[in-house]
Amino acid sequence: MAHHKSTIKRIRTNLKANERNRHYRTMMRSAIRRVREGKNPETLQNDLSSACAILDRLAGKGIIPRNTAARRKSNLHRIVARHEA
């Protein structure tokens, strides 16, 4: 167990951040899954735009790296283009 007050607080804040980040990552994965498994072209565009917005938001918060967000958005755009063609 930690001995310093600052370390005890750091453990507490890390737990909160971990919980919050886990929620964001789950939200991101669900949005990506909706795009990948989408069949309807009308809803596919909406799902793509919401997934891109979530990826941008998480990259801005520092939860995922910016290049990871860019790579995932690129892959999603490729998937949607294949469905439309």
* pLDDT tens digits, one per residue of 34-57: 999 988 888 999 999 999 999 999
Residue numbers of the domain that contains 72: 5-84
Q: What percent of the chain has pLDDT over 70?
A: 99
What's the first-to-final CA gap in the chain, in angstroms?
58
* CATH code, domain with 35: 1.20.58.110
Let me know: does 55 contact 69? Beta carbons within 8 Å. Answer: yes
CA torsion, ordered 23, 55, 68, 32, to nearest 10 deg: 80
Mean pLDDT along residues 72-80? 96
The total number of structural domains that make up the chain: 1
What's the burial of 27, exposed, middle or buried (CB within 10 Å: 0-12/13-18/19+)? Answer: middle
pTM: 0.86
